Amino acid sequence: MVACGNYHGVIGFAKAKGPAVPTACQKVYLWPDPTQGGMKAGRTVQTILNLAGFKNVKSKVVGSRNPHNTVKALFKGLNAIETPKDVQEKFGRVVVQSYLL
């Protein structure tokens, strides 16, 4: 497996595998670390998030901890993130940014 990134939000991965496709249910939970304590994640998730340029993230892997499945689940989750503009178009409402002190 190979992963690459530019540390500014662009990441990718590639893997080679045999003809048998095992099934594995897996979830990767990500949430911001409000304490600014840096990256708190497993080695596989931490490496991918560092390549993407994330700084303060906590994560939890539920299910199989196979690196192939972890990377696949992580990318699936990162691709599912919606921007405020996406949410605005989806629901037809104006999204207002609020800044908390």
Q: Is the pTM of the predicted complex or chain greater than 0.85?
A: no
pLDDT per residue over 55-70, tens digit each? 899 999 988 888 888 8
Q: How far is CA 79 from the centre of its chain?
A: 8
Structure tokens at 97: 């940014």
Above 70 in pLDDT, residue 25? Answer: no
Cβ atoms of residues 39 and 15 within 8 Å: no
Cβ atoms of residues 40 and 57 within 8 Å: yes
Spelled out in words, what is the top-level CATH class assigned to the domain 2-15+24-84?
alpha beta
What is the residue extent of each domain of the chain?
Answer: 2-15+24-84
Cβ atoms of residues 61 and 45 within 8 Å: yes
